[in-house]
A and B are shown apart, each in its own frame.
Chain A
Amino acid sequence: AQSVTQLGSHVSVSEGALVLLRCNYSSSVPPYLFWYVQYPNQGLQLLLKYTSAATLVKGINGFEAEFKKSETSFHLTKPSAHMSDAAEYFCAVRGSGNTPLVFGKGTRLSVIA
């Protein structure tokens, strides 16, 4: 069965510091991987997706993620955090067969001035 583990339910960084949000997955089929962001009182917005093309995927708002098959990881990074990045971030992997995406439990990012 497909699964996603996001390490750290809460990550806190200083403004201008590197953002690193961790995602490990388990998949019995070639993985399609996604990162979503959720701002307070809003729905989820797609940040980026990996669909077996380039292993380094660039997304919106300066975020990027690297697919590492050997580590079954798809960590999200941003070189310099901004206050506006404070939100909850979800990693997701496609389901097996005819099942929907499987989401991680989310990581809340706080940015300290």
Chain B
Amino acid sequence: DVKVTQSSRYLVKRTGEKVFLECVQDMDHENMFWYRQDPGLGLRLIYFSYDVKMKEKGDIPEGYSVSREKKERFSLILESASTNQTSMYLCASSLQGFYQPQHFGDGTRLSIL
């Protein structure tokens, strides 16, 4: 089974802090994704990556950046956290080809105070 592991289930940070969310997958998947999930808004794509060091903006990239230095790891960075970034963050991975099903981690519930 594919395992997508997010480093923290719950995280509390302060406004203005630089926040790192880490995601690791163990199935040699080419594609990795970061979403945020908010009530009534469903999943919104922040960034995705189809190869090491490659990244593409999703629907809501503002205030975020990403890093993919190794194939198995995809990091989401909040450069200067703000309260409107309080949310559930979900990482996913898939085989090459965006028609492939995505496999999700358990999510990180991030609170910015």
Contacts and interface: CB of A to CB of B under 8 A. Distances in A.
Interface stretch (A12-20, A60-68, A69-77, A97-105): A97-105
Contacts of B102: 44, 46, 100-101
A99 B41 CA distance: 20
Interface string B16-59: 00000000000000010100000011110100101000000010
Interface in A33-86: 34, 36, 41-46, 49, 51
Given A41-B109, A43-B92, A101-B98, 18 more contacts: A9-B40, A34-B101, A41-B107, A43-B4, A43-B104, A44-B43, A45-B104, A46-B101, A46-B103, A49-B101, A94-B98, A98-B50, A100-B48, A100-B98, A100-B102, A103-B42, A105-B42, A106-B42
Most buried by A among B4, B31, B45: B45
Interface residues on A, range: 20 to 34
B107 A43 contact: yes
A42 B42 contact: no
B13 to A, nearest CB: 19
A98 B45 CA distance: 14
Contacts of B33: 100
B91 to A, nearest CB: 8
A85 B44 CA distance: 24
